[in-house]
Amino acid sequence: MLDSRTIEIVKSTLPLLENAGVEVTDHFYKRMFSHNPELKDIFNLANQATGRQQFALFSAVAMYAKHIDDLGALGELVERVAHKHVSFDIQPDQYQIVGHHLIETLREMAPNEFTDEVAEAWVEAYGLLAKVLIGREQDIYSDYQNKTGGWTGPRLFEVKDKTPESELVTSFTFVPVDGGEIASYQPGQYLAVKVKPEQAENTEIRQYSISDKFNGESYRISVKRESKPQAGLVSNHLHDTVQVGDRIELMPPTGDFYLAHMDKPTVLISAGVGITPMMAMLETLIVNQSKQNIWFLHACENKNQHTYAQQLKSKANELDQLHYYYWYKQDDSGDELAQKGLLKLDGLQSELPLTDGHFYICGPIEFMRFIKQQLLDLNVAADQIHYEVFGPHSDL
């Protein structure tokens, strides 16, 4: 553990971390990539371009500094980051590289505040943080190494099927090239896809939610084509270049967002491509013959972008316990069942399981904030609300 003086020094630097601007974060990444260019094959360079990765890393370190004398408060952050790191196959020695460049950046950019004494305290503090994360990650690696069909690091899979699901979303089904078993997963978890698009300078790794129940033979992901060139580097590669029969490296399924209360009423709320983990949850509930009521609420731009529309309508007609509602932002569908505008819960207040249900949310961050606030306003307890954030760690 850290002594009281070290804790005091680290906490005193909290404003420096919380107020780290673009100049500081850019300096850190330029410094690190110039000395260790191999890390460009791990860090999502699209998130670098938007600034999301820079913000996420420094905000996470700031949160650590804030709770350095109460690490138990960081349980959720540690779990989410550890699962994300496992999907990138992060190894212990890489922590030392990142820590070194982080501390040297602060020393170079804020020499008056980041004295030798402060730097020494942060070396010790960062070492503790690394130890906590490495320990949790090693547990996850070990679990996957030892479970039936499990593996660690990249494993080669073949594309068995490629199916358009809507105007922007296409599903890809993968089977292992080695013919071996595959690891089970929790519905809601994701796979990391490792590819090198022709126009990319580096290997790119992206996480995509698994969009079907576990079947023991294959994995399915459903990928939205992104319109912005840098953000859509991998998604466009998958849509335009990857075909049935091609081979792709996959990391084992992981993630801390998953269906965890199958014995309770379940509400699945999504927007856009956030529908993908919800399909895995719904299919799992159905195959396990859940007796609980299920609500499936989805919002998207229009009818053409309504992923899995027919499958969901069919399931709702077949299953009495499934209550299916959907919203189109653009009023152009001609679909009498579609509600128009934003997904608002007040009209469903009387039927939703506000006191004993569990609510799972996935979609753009602003959408999830909007839904979470509605749920809190309806007096849903915070521990009944679960969500998934695409990309770097963020809070709602």
369 carries a ligand binding annotation:
no
Of the candidates 64, 126, 137, 258, the residue annotated as catalytic is 137
118 carries a ligand binding annotation:
no
Paired sense of beta strands 190-195 and 204-209, if any: antiparallel
275 carries a ligand binding annotation:
yes
Is there a catalytic annotation at residue 95? yes
170 carries a ligand binding annotation:
no
265 carries a ligand binding annotation:
no
324 carries a ligand binding annotation:
no
244 carries a ligand binding annotation:
no
Structure tokens at 69: 């004398």
How many angstroms separate the CA atoms of 160 and 179, rounded?
13
190 carries a ligand binding annotation:
yes
35 carries a ligand binding annotation:
no
103 carries a ligand binding annotation:
no
390 carries a ligand binding annotation:
yes
85 carries a ligand binding annotation:
yes
Is there a catalytic annotation at residue 38? no
Of the candidates 29, 64, 95, 258, the residue annotated as catalytic is 95
Strand order in 266-271's β-sheet? 339-340, 322-328, 294-300, 266-271, 358-362, 385-388
387 carries a ligand binding annotation:
no
The set of long-range contacts for 60-66, using a CB threshold of 8 Å and a minimum separation of 24, is 60/393, 61/17, 61/102, 61/129, 62/14, 62/17, 62/18, 62/20, 64/125, 64/129, 65/10, 65/11, 65/13, 65/14, 65/17, 65/125, 66/11, 66/14
392 carries a ligand binding annotation:
yes
Active site residues: 95, 137
Annotated binding-site residues read 85, 190, 206-209, 272-277, 389-392
Q: Which residues are annotated as a binding site for FAD?
A: 190, 206-209, 389-392
Binding site listing for heme b: 85
Binding residues for NADP(+): 272-277
